[in-house]
Amino acid sequence: MNSPHSAQQAPSEPIRFYHRGEVVSVDGVRTTRSVLDWLREDAHCTGTKEGCNEGDCGACTVVIGELDGQGALQLASVNACIQFLPTLDGKALFTVEDLQPQCATACTKHGDAALHPVQQAMVECHGSQCGFCTPGFVMSLWSSYELHQQAGTRPSRQQLADDLSGNLCRCTGYRPILDAGQRMFDLPAVRLDRAAVVQALQGLRRAQGLAYAAPVALPEGPRLDHFHAPATLEALAALREARPQARLLAGSTDIGLWVNKQFRDVGELIYLGGVAELRRVEQRGDQLYIGAGALLEDAWRALVQRAPALADVWLRFASPPIRHAGTMGGNVANGSPIGDAPPILMALDAEIELRRGARVRRMPLTEFYLDYMKNALEPGEFVQGLAVPLAAFARQVRGYKISKRFDCDISALCAGMAIALDGDTVASVRLAYGGMAATVRRAAQAEAALLGKPWTQATVRAAQAALALDFKPLSDMRASAAFRLQVAQNLLQRLWLETRPGDPLPASATSVFSVLPHAAA
Ligand SMILES: Cc1cc2nc3c(=O)[nH]c(=O)nc-3n(C[C@H](O)[C@H](O)[C@H](O)COP(=O)(O)OP(=O)(O)OC[C@H]3O[C@@H](n4cnc5c(N)ncnc54)[C@H](O)[C@@H]3O)c2cc1C
Ligand code: FES
Ligand code: FES
């Protein structure tokens, strides 16, 4: 094969991206070098800070710009600490340095201070004390600012709080920062020159994708590490089949932590982010199709549009910067027993679509997980997408996430439930739980205790008892076994309270998010 992705001897091309008003070309850096390390150590842009180095604190928040299918610029906040530099190829990188005063002297519009409205609002509202978190907050706010200026809208205070749920501040407190988030829209507007960025990004397009390689010094001797970023689904399928030993890289919100925290050697990488077909979320016939590379934010939005009660899990799934990078395929393929998407998708009867070369096969998601972190993927195969029957949204669908912290926390357990009633009788039911076993799975015995029975408190009690036969959960740092089982049983009660015939609790009684306008938008 003569494809640029064909083999070890493939030529390496430099990584090119737009940064601080110009196209930057980078070569020779390790494939797993983080955007944060590059910024601070190579580009000497030290405004972006390192706090946790694992996507949790938001001190490293930057904004990435990409062209969408229509050629328009889309901006999204991400955590620079867990993004690898080659993933920036063809994109624009914005950091807090891009917001520094552009017109300090002789400016008639902005006066002497000439701070960006986000910065000016932070000053006026006392949104910064020690300042360590501030660049991260400012970039999350700038991302919201640009989005809303573009759309001609203003976020509610709760929307701003959601936008900032991936940014931690230990000294200022969040009220003044939220005040700044509202104040910034009252100040004279300063907008990004999108046309210049679009023009630069058009010039960075690669029909063949990127083939990058960099030497790495290991104790056993030097090695050349490869980073392939195919541009089409066909090229990805061929490359994956030819390189089954390579690691697939999607949003790196799991893999970034393996590198930063476990110092794992992830070797050769095949990056999925350049394959536009894989990112699609669309209705196909009587199914909602979610490409494996669809960003978590896009995929959850589509699910919530059809089942608004899932807003709780969407908006509490990690944080906006994680959801702007992480993918639905990554969440499902990673196969963590406490991943949030699989229980919801199982409750919706989702099928998973797998591809190896030209062969495409599907199976119910319930059959995909074989054991703890083991799945049905064969060598050379990858997850191509997920398909949810639209009929599944006709049931009453719920998603319940239980975690120690409300925002940006991994679940102790997560449940996806769907129920359809025929009068007072349970006509169909799906109960899927994460955090209760070595894999996410459905509660067969509890479901059997409900099916065909009257939807009453007595039936719920019988199902709660059956749940104890379905699962023998573990105790770990997130929750004890007893807590998990009790909560799993209590969630059945909650489902009943919310759906009991004639007297259901309103969504506003049980969820803060389901009453928000942006959740179902
Ligand atoms: C701060 C933080 C908070 C988080 N909060 C949550 C949370 O609330 N809920 C939750 O469920 N998760 C959470 N996560 C975990 C993570 O964000 C998700 O699992 C995410 O969906 C992973 O997707 P990714 O695209 O980043 O995957 P990656 O990290 O790129 O890859 C993960 C794994 O999936 C494989 N993979 C990726 N795509 C494919 C594919 N198409 N085919 C086959 N294999 C593939 C990779 O090879 C790798 O083994 C959090 C992570 C962080 C850092
Ligand atoms: S340093 Fe904490 S999220 Fe990146
Ligand atoms: S201002 Fe000190 S951590 Fe936020």
User: Token pair 């703890």 is at which residue?
Assistant: 372
Determine the pLDDT at residue 509.
Answer: 74
| Any ligand 1 atom below 6 A from CB of 56 | yes
With beta carbons less than 8 A apart as the criterion, state whether 520 and 440 touch: no
Ligand 2 atom with the smallest distance to the CA of 81 is 4
Q: Could you say which ligand is closest to the alpha carbon of residue 377?
A: 1
Instruction: State whether the beta carbon of 60 lies less than 6 angstroms from ligand 2.
Output: yes
**How high is the pLDDT of residue 272?**
98
Instruction: Specify whether the CB–CB gap between 343 and 432 falls below 8 A.
Output: yes
**What is the reported pLDDT for 102?**
55
Does 130 contact ligand 3 (Cβ within 6 A)? yes
Euclidean distance between CA atoms 285 and 462, whole angstroms: 38
Q: Please name which ligand lies nearest the alpha carbon of 323.
A: 1
pLDDT in the model for residue 429? 98
Going from the Cα of 176 to the center of ligand 2, the distance in angstroms, rounded, reads 22
- What pLDDT shows up at residue 520? 39
52 alpha carbon to ligand 2 midpoint, in Å? 5
User: Which of 123, 169, 174, 177 has most ligand 3 atoms within 8 Å of CB, for mutation?
Assistant: 169
Distance separating alpha carbons of residues 317 and 327, to the nearest angstrom: 12
On whether the CB atoms of residues 217 and 225 are closer than 8 A, the answer is: no
Candidates 337, 374, 346; CA nearest to 473 is 337
CA 84/CA 251 separation, integer angstroms: 10
- Domain ranges across the chain: 15-97+200-271, 117-189, 280-519
Atom of ligand 2 nearest to the CA of 57: 2
pLDDT score recorded for residue 5 = 43
Ligand 1 proximity of 485 Cβ (cutoff 6 Å): no
Which residues 6+ apart lie within 8 Å of 234 measured at CB?
none
CATH number for the segment(s) 117-189: 1.10.150.120
State the pLDDT at residue 10: 57
Whether residue 59 has its Cβ less than 6 Å from ligand 2: yes
Nearest protein Cα to ligand 3, atom 4:
169
Pairing of strands 92-94, 15-19: parallel
Cα 330 to ligand 1 centroid, rounded to whole Å: 4
Q: Is the CB of 326 under 6 A from ligand 1?
A: yes
Residue where the block lists tokens 């899927």: 432
Question: Is 353's C-beta closer than 6 angstroms to any atom of ligand 1?
Answer: no
State the 10-residue block means of pLDDT for the chain, 521 residues long. Answer: 43 95 96 98 98 97 96 97 98 95 51 81 97 98 97 95 96 96 97 96 96 92 95 98 98 98 96 97 98 98 95 94 98 95 98 98 98 96 98 97 89 96 97 97 98 98 98 94 97 96 81 51 38
Looking up tokens 């020779």 gives 28
pLDDT at position 101 is 63
Which CATH architecture is the domain 15-97+200-271 placed in?
Answer: Roll (3.10)
Pick from 57, 227, 254 the residue to mutate for probing ligand 1's pocket: most ligand atoms within 8 Å of its CB: 254
Model pLDDT, residue 113? 55
CB atoms within 10 A of CB 188: 9
- Ligand 3 within 6 A of 128 CB? yes
Q: What is the pLDDT of residue 135?
A: 98
**CA quadruple 474, 478, 480, 486: dihedral sign:** negative
Angle of the 457-470 helix axis to the 481-499 helix axis, nearest 10:
150
Q: Which residues contact 434 (CB under 8 A, 6 or more apart)?
A: 336, 337, 338, 339, 340, 342, 343, 411, 413, 414, 415, 440
Which secondary-structure segment (H or E) carries 64? strand 61-67
CA–centroid distance, residue 238 to ligand 2 (Å): 35
C-alpha to C-alpha distance for 26 and 23, rounded to whole angstroms = 10
> Helix, strand, coil % (nearest 5) of the chain?
35, 25, 40
Residue 252 CA, ligand 1 centroid: distance in Å: 7
**280-519: CATH class:** alpha beta
Task: Decide: 252 in ligand 1 pocket, CB within 6 A.
Answer: yes
Q: Kindly state if the Cβ of 317 falls inside 6 Å of ligand 1.
A: yes
* pTM, two decimal places: 0.94
The predicted structure's pLDDT at residue 519 = 42
Q: Is 257 in the pocket of ligand 2 (CB under 6 A)?
A: no
